[in-house]
Structure 1
Amino acid sequence: MTEINSLGAQTVPGPQAAKAAMTGELLRLLQAQPGLLAPGETARAEVMSMRQVGVDFQLSLRLTQGNGNQTQLQANASQPLPQGSQVTVTQTESNRLAVMVQQVHANNITTLTRLDTSQVPVGTLLQGKVLTSQPLPQNAGEIASFRSLVSLLNSSQAGATLAIDSPRPLPVGSLLSALVQGDQSLRFVPLSGRQDQLAIAQQLVTQQGRQASLPGLLNALQQIATSGDAGTQLRASAERLLASLPDARQLGDAKNLAQALNNSGAFLEAKLLGGLASGVAPDLKTQLVRLIAQLPNPPTGQALTPAQTSTLAHALPGFARSALGMLGQVSPRPQPGAFPLPSRLLQSLENEGDLQQLLRLAAAAISRLQSHALSSLQQSGPLENGNQQTTWQTEIPIRHGQEFIPLQVKLQREETPEQQADREREGRDPLEAIWRIELAFDLSPLGPLQVQAQLLQGRLSGQLWAEQEQTARLIDSQLGTLRERLLARGLDVGDLECHPGTPPQGPRTRLEQRWVDETA
């Protein structure tokens, strides 16, 4: 826990600065400037930048003379002067410019000694850069304490300087992240958490460069399942995987839908960590890994030993990507974290055997599922308003006649810190949180469709987008029937709208992902 100091607004940095205003000890030029000012002449200087060097502070000053001329000066100070501070200096001797500080004007500098929780609510993640770190005077028997000036890099207070006290010195120049606990307290977030987020973003870019759409693989498996040329074991694996895919009509049942989500590959790692390895057989990602392990002819032309098979299964999809060469694509590279993932096909390789092509398709399918999983991690965590957001994003291939339709799903839960604590402690109703769902699919002849819905305290609101204008008109004409059916299921229904085109894209903060604001 780090306490923000509770000093009042500062007109001078402290008692030493007040003393320096009489003696000139506060500020010393690094290089003499003879003739810059006439003896006895005064001028104003503004602090342009500051950095701590040992126990001193190195300042870059912009000095403005009475005639308007400006000069850049470098100086040392015994006390920190935040960027933007102004000092009045004077020429003391005719042969050199020994600046005498007459007055320090810092009352116009935003140096926060407490946080306004209406602007940075409890739970907000603040990020900043440490400008200074100094030990505070202590009496015998007292615990050591250190005071630092931190420049805030995010939130509505970005650019302000925060004065904080901590039991340990903060390395000057270091970046830190801290959660707001109150108007005068912060809790530091370990740097490893920030590094994890960076690693997720980097890995997501890599995975999205490897991935390809699932229907290409499923169509190839359909051919293998009906072919007599494929091996018995490979054909059985293809049949088993295709049989595990849900039919579109089955997803109208809540239990079948829950089972389809559970077997989509999004929870494979969680099941394995939880010791549920015996229950992962129907999982889509598990079946893809086993399918790759059964393919007898890798691109090197050498058979896989059992040890190599085990290594391949653990290293996927990275090893498969490096072993199979470049993947072609016919669509632009998607942005990390974008939803939905666009359709992406692999270019066929000349003189390529069917099994090698199948290996490439299976590895690309695993990468696509991994992209969804990494996007879930990237979009989970504390929001700017202090709430906690959890995201589950996945893709379910659905049978629709003789076709396979990928249904992309993103579920999000947003809770206040109090709701999260109550849910974990008392098992409170999960519907008290804000729930959001996004769906994306391409259903012939309706074309690409996207759905965004929000459930807040039993009230459901939603928006739909159809790329084909005639489909948008058709859906809009049926919204009344949809509202009646939702009301019959006991839901309180808010706004329901359908738009032609696609949802707005581009950089969005997490707060801007509130598609429907029920309080507006």
Structure 2
Amino acid sequence: MKLPNGQQSPNPPAPVAPRSPQINDANQPGRETPALSARQQLDQIQLANRETILARVAEIINRQGSRNAEVLLDVRGKQLQVNAAIGATELTPGDWVKVMRAGNELQLMGKLAATPEAAISQALAQRMPWQQSIDSGLAKLMTALNKGVIPELTPGQLPTARGLQPLPEAARQALETLLARLPASSTLTPGAGTQNNSVQQIRQWIAESGVFAESRLTQTPSSTLPDLKLALGRMVTGLLAEQGGNPATLFNRLTPLASPGLMQAPLQFPQTMASPPTGSGSEPTSVGQTLRMLAGMLNRITVNQLHSQILTARGAGGDAPAPASTMIMDLPWVTPQNEPKLAQLRMEQYKEESSAKDRNEKRAAISEWRLNLAIDLELAGALNFEVSLRQQEVSARVWAEKQETLKQVYEELPLLRRSLVELGLEVTDLECRRGTPSYPATRLEHRLVDTRA
């Protein structure tokens, strides 16, 4: 296994001796000597003499001074409590250390520097519990646009004395611009994919999803860019400007609202949460509730950004085929009844080198793109699309939960094939299936090394 660069070696390496186990049973024979007990513990984790291993610091139990501490190490799935003289090396829970067995002691060889993936994982873990679903959030924002928001109480004011007040002008303009640019289901009809305006609409839909907000700002440093994440930020600024004080300080003090489904399975694709019922956003919210909801929506977009980076980092360097890059995003759209819904998109790029017949011939990189789209339509039900594009070859698979929808998809397959051919693609496979595809469960890992390397 390869270790990441940037190891820190303490000066000098300090031994850490496993503690004797505490024996609470009074009927036990006399205690074994500390050396024998330490040897047994090290033998139990199958650590040979002079062998090095990676361990995770699970807990700092008791600091006895600046140089001594009792540390609980997680070694090969087992916990080992040690008395550690760690010298100048500062250890905190979650750190990974390299230790070596020297007789019946463990020598601390070095603390591993935090990897970029670990930093992303930490940032992701901070936001995962506080995600607000984009579609339900937009429904409540539509209500705020039409009916107004409940103002915050002033000192001595009774709740019954509060009336509704319109959104601040800056927040209203940002929301109106956002809603005007959301795609509607009525604008995309069967066979429209070959038209240039439809292709441009889809590109705009993805580009303005919020996942690329920071990248777009670096190219065009303008806060007025049409973008979901930036528009939510402008609404936050507009609402906070009415409260007085420093907007950044006020916003950081808010506890974001969260959707229960996203709390239970924060990283799963696609999310199987039920769509918000009609009229769920009809009750006006207060300014504070609206700000907390916006914070949760921003967290949802940030989680998708960080999750994409985590999956991309994990895909590098493995023996099994793994994506070179992954992008996950929520794409909001509106129904003919002006109700916000979500389409969930996952795009992956796989790279491989083409075989070269001549040694002097340079191998070209071949990319394969895989797209997964999950969408729940009011009449057709849940639909999942899996599309694979490799150079000019394309294949597609459609999953439908309802039998009548599956029949309709079969009837539309010739039109889909013809549309793909008109784009200059060679269709290798088109298939329809009943039900939903199975996706591997995703969980957040603080992995230090790639065990596949």
Of 245, 260, 271 in structure 2, the residue corresponding to residue 341 of structure 1 is: 271
- 3-state DSSP class of the match of 2:225? coil
Of 100, 107, 121 in structure 2, the residue corresponding to residue 201 of structure 1 is: 121
Q: How does 1:161-200 map to 2 (within 5 A)?
A: 191-193=113-115, 196-200=116-120
Tell me if structure 1 keeps the 8 A contact 2:136–2:340: no
Tell me if structure 2 keeps the 8 A contact 1:451–1:465: yes
- 3-state DSSP class of the match of 2:237? helix
Q: How does 1:22-421 map to 2 (within 5 A)?
A: 49-52=47-50, 191-193=113-115, 196-227=116-147, 229-233=165-169, 234-248=171-185, 249=187, 252=193, 253-272=198-217, 274=218, 276-278=220-222, 281-296=225-240, 303-305=243-245, 308-311=246-249, 319=252, 323-324=254-255, 327=258, 329=260, 333-336=264-267, 338-343=268-273, 353-381=285-313, 382-385=316-319, 389-401=324-336, 402-416=338-352
- The structure number with the bigger radius of gyration is 1
Provide the C-alpha distance between the structure 2 equivalents of 1:210 and 1:344, rounded to a whole number of angstroms. 18
Provide the C-alpha distance between the structure 1 equivalents of 2:135 and 2:259, rounded to a whole number of angstroms. 16
Render the CA deviation track for 1:106-159: whole Å, top value 9, x for unaligned: xxxxxxxxxxxxxxxxxxxxxx988699xxxxxxxxxxxxxxxxxxxxxxxxxx
Q: CA deviation at 1:285?
A: 0.3
Provide the C-alpha distance between the structure 2 equivalents of 1:131 and 1:494, rounded to a whole number of angstroms. 55
Render the CA deviation track for 1:13-60: whole Å, top value 9, x for unaligned: xxxxxxxxxxxxxxxxx99xxxxxxxxxxxxxxx96413289xxxxxx
Provide the C-alpha distance between the structure 2 equivalents of 1:223 and 1:508, rounded to a whole number of angstroms. 34
Tell me if structure 2 keeps the 8 A contact 1:218–1:404: yes
Provide the C-alpha distance between the structure 1 equivalents of 2:415 and 2:354, rounded to a whole number of angstroms. 38
Provide the C-alpha distance between the structure 2 equivalents of 1:352 and 1:130, rounded to a whole number of angstroms. 58
Tell me if structure 2 keeps the 8 A contact 1:216–1:361: no
Q: CA deviation at 1:344?
A: 7.2
- 3-state DSSP class of the match of 1:502? coil
Unaligned runs of 5+ in 2: 3-34, 37-44, 53-96, 149-164, 356-361, 444-453
User: Number of matched residues?
Assistant: 317
- 3-state DSSP class of the match of 1:271? helix
Percent identity of equivalent pairs: 25
Distance 1:394 1:291, change over 3 A: same
In angstroms, what is the RMSD of aligned CA positions?
A: 4.1
Give the aligned residue type for 2:385: V
Distance 1:198 1:355, change over 3 A: same
Distance 1:332 1:392, change over 3 A: closer
- 3-state DSSP class of the match of 1:288? helix
Q: CA deviation at 1:232?
A: 4.8
Partner of 1:66: none
Render the CA deviation track for 1:164-192: whole Å, top value 9, x for unaligned: xxxxxxx976698xxxxxxxxxxxxxx54
Provide the C-alpha distance between the structure 2 equivalents of 1:496 and 1:130, rounded to a whole number of angstroms. 54
Q: CA deviation at 1:216?
A: 1.9
> With structure 1 as the length reference, what TM-score do the two structures score?
0.52
Provide the C-alpha distance between the structure 2 equivalents of 1:267 and 1:444, rounded to a whole number of angstroms. 29
Provide the C-alpha distance between the structure 1 equivalents of 2:117 and 2:135, rounded to a whole number of angstroms. 31
Provide the C-alpha distance between the structure 1 equivalents of 2:178 and 2:412, rounded to a whole number of angstroms. 36
Q: CA deviation at 1:340?
A: 1.8
Provide the C-alpha distance between the structure 2 equivalents of 1:489 and 1:231, rounded to a whole number of angstroms. 46
Distance 1:52 1:330, change over 3 A: closer
Give the aligned residue type for 2:345: V
Partner of 1:456: 390
Q: CA deviation at 1:446?
A: 0.8
Distance 1:412 1:506, change over 3 A: closer
Tell me if structure 2 keeps the 8 A contact 1:387–1:416: no
Distance 1:345 1:213, change over 3 A: farther
Distance 1:235 1:466, change over 3 A: same
Tell me if structure 2 keeps the 8 A contact 1:346–1:361: no
> With structure 2 as the length reference, what TM-score do the two structures score?
0.59
Provide the C-alpha distance between the structure 2 equivalents of 1:444 and 1:346, rounded to a whole number of angstroms. 12
Tell me if structure 1 keeps the 8 A contact 2:328–2:345: yes
Give the aligned residue type for 1:358: T
Tell me if structure 2 keeps the 8 A contact 1:225–1:236: no
Of 402, 409, 417 in structure 2, the residue corresponding to residue 483 of structure 1 is: 417
Tell me if structure 1 keeps the 8 A contact 2:384–2:398: yes
Unaligned runs of 5+ in 1: 3-29, 32-46, 55-127, 134-170, 177-190, 314-318, 420-425, 510-520
Provide the C-alpha distance between the structure 2 equivalents of 1:282 and 1:200, rounded to a whole number of angstroms. 27
